[in-house]
């Protein structure tokens, strides 16, 4: 309520834009929780848009100032789009510190929606990568997760299975970034250099191509593990045994699109890379994940932050995000809640949450750059299939991506 000249006015509802239709139910539930525990008069309109639709909607709202949002949920991959000019989001560093989130969010995730020491958003998900595998088919084929503890042994087993007519893994363009980070590199370094370890990037691309050439990997229909068609064909049929995916991939997509496989999926850490000195890499990596940002032109910034702070710090809001099938939260204080550690029937009664909590300390940091969205989609749409089918070499791919991205602003 707002009082103006003795007249009580109803506060305007917050406009919250989210980039996931699956999240709409969650946010409506959290609004009710906020009304119950914080402000009974709080109101918010939740608008859900598609992952790729959100930037277009936001660009129009910013340009026209017609019904702009107060709070925006963005995926980290798209966040870089807004870093090449004046950032249209509120800088949150001091608010994050005052709320204690600088200590309670996993350190590797905290600067995800930021650049050059400034933070514009708070990450909701851990987005740790694991290997989802068909537990029932592993048993049938007499292999165990321990047989694939390294990528070398994974390839060995994959070749053996190919000889029996069985593919091992679905291939996806997102794996390039995932595997680069697992090996200790990234698309960009902190100074904005593209492919800071070019030799490692070429090795990783070559390794991915060879998985397809050797019959270990299979390209999904439409070359994406995120397309519903993929689940209806390669997954449900048992054509592939494993998929690299984040916490949200298992909680949301696998359960949504393969309900008939309940109890037949297993979860294991990523196989490790064996370094030249014989040591092993971390057994996880990261790619993509949602965050909450405040639009700078919003008229209710403080009210918006109060709600975002609640979403990020309230124990019940965080736990519901996990048990509701969204993601494993980046907010560390809830990781020991017994609901986060329960056995999960869908994954053969494995303690799904504990697996991610145990991997969190090894999660690599993501280097954010204004050109990251262009790099991700350029690789995905222009080069991935050509690489997999041998129509372009890894060396030429790197060269062409460098040339194309030189046209994209770096600051």
Extended beta strands in 167-241, E state: 169-170, 217-218
Q: 280 and 190 in one domain?
A: yes
pLDDT at site 222: 77
Does residue 45 belong to any structural domain of this protein? yes
Q: 120 and 173 in one domain?
A: no
Q: 303 and 262 in one domain?
A: no
Q: 37 and 112 in one domain?
A: yes
Does residue 343 belong to any structural domain of this protein? no
pLDDT at site 56: 85
Q: 279 and 202 in one domain?
A: yes
Q: 70 and 208 in one domain?
A: no
Beta bridge partners of 169: 217, 242
pLDDT at site 385: 95
Does residue 372 belong to any structural domain of this protein? no
Does residue 24 belong to any structural domain of this protein? yes
Q: What is the pTM of this model?
A: 0.94
Task: From 334, 351, 369, give the residue that closes a domain.
Answer: 334
Q: 19 and 78 in one domain?
A: yes
Closest CA to 235 of 216, 254, 215: 254
Residues sharing a CB contact under 8 Å with residue 301, sequence separation 6 or more, in sequence order: 70, 90, 294
Distance, CA of 153 to CA of 159 (rounded, Å):
10
Residues sharing a CB contact under 8 Å with residue 83, sequence separation 6 or more, in sequence order: 115, 368, 369, 370, 411
Q: DSSP 3-state assignment of 290? A: strand
Q: Residue 21: which domain range?
A: 12-125+288-334
**Strand (E) or helix (H) holding 9:** strand 7-9
Does residue 321 belong to any structural domain of this protein? yes
Average pLDDT, 10 consecutive residues per value, the chain (411 residues): 47 90 89 97 94 84 86 93 91 97 97 94 97 97 97 98 96 97 96 95 98 95 87 89 97 94 97 96 96 92 97 96 94 97 96 97 96 95 95 98 81 58
Q: 272 and 171 in one domain?
A: yes
Task: From 317, 334, 351, give the residue that closes a domain.
Answer: 334
Q: 316 and 382 in one domain?
A: no
Does residue 371 belong to any structural domain of this protein? no
Q: 210 and 67 in one domain?
A: no
Does residue 245 belong to any structural domain of this protein? yes
Do 239 and 186 meet the contact criterion of CB atoms below 8 Å apart?
no
For residue 302, give the CATH number of its domain: 3.40.190.10
Does residue 370 belong to any structural domain of this protein? no
What digits encode the pLDDT tens for the residues 330-374? 999 999 999 999 999 999 999 999 999 999 999 999 999 999 999
What digits encode the pLDDT tens for the residues 275-333? 999 999 999 999 999 999 999 988 899 999 999 999 999 999 999 999 999 999 999 99
Distance, CA of 260 to CA of 220 (rounded, Å):
20
Q: 221 and 293 in one domain?
A: no
**Number of domains into which the chain is organized:** 2
Q: 163 and 57 in one domain?
A: no
């Amino acid at each position: 309520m707002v009082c103006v000249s003795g007249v009580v006015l109803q506060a305007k509802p917050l406009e919250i834009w989210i980039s996931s239709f699956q999240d709409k139910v969650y946010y409506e539930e959290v609004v009710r929780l906020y009304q119950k525990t914080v402000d009974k008069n709080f109101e918010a309109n939740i608008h859900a848009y598609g992952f790729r639709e959100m930037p277009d909607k936001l660009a129009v709202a910013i340009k026209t100032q017609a019904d702009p949002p107060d709070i925006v949920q963005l995926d980290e991959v798209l966040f870089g789009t807004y870093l090449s000019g004046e950032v249209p989001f509120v800088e949150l560093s001091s608010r994050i510190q005052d709320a204690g989130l600088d200590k309670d969010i996993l350190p590797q995730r905290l600067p995800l929606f930021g650049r050059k020491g400034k933070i514009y958003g708070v990450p909701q998900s851990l987005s740790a990568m694991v290997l989802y595998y068909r537990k029932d088919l592993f048993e049938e084929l007499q292999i165990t997760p321990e047989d694939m503890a390294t990528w070398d042994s994974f390839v060995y087993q994959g070749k053996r299975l190919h000889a029996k007519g069985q593919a091992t893994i679905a291939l996806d363009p997102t794996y390039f970034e995932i595997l680069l980070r697992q090996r200790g590199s990234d698309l960009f370094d902190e100074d904005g250099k593209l492919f800071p370890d070019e030799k490692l990037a070429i090795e990783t691309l070559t390794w991915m191509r060879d998985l397809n050439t050797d019959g270990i990997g299979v390209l999904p229909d439409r070359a994406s593990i995120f397309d519903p068609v993929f689940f209806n064909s390669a997954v449900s049929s048992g054509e592939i045994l494993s998929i690299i995916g984040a916490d949200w991939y298992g909680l949301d997509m696998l359960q949504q699109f393969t309900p008939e496989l309940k109890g037949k999926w297993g979860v294991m850490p990523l196989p490790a890379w064996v370094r030249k000195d014989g040591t092993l890499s971390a057994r996880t990596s990261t790619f993509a994940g949602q965050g909450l940002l405040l639009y700078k032109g919003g008229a209710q910034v403080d009210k918006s932050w109060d709600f975002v702070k609640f979403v990020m710090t309230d124990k019940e809001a965080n736990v519901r995000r996990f048990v509701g099938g969204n993601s494993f939260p980046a907010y560390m204080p809830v990781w020991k809640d017994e609901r986060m550690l329960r056995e999960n029937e869908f994954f053969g009664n494995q303690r799904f949450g504990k697996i991610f909590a145990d991997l969190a300390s090894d999660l690599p940091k993501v280097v954010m750059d204004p050109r990251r969205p262009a790099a991700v989609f350029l690789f995905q749409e222009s080069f991935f299939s050509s690489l997999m089918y041998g129509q372009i070499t890894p060396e030429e791919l790197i060269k062409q991506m460098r040339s194309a991205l030189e046209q994209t602003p770096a600051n």
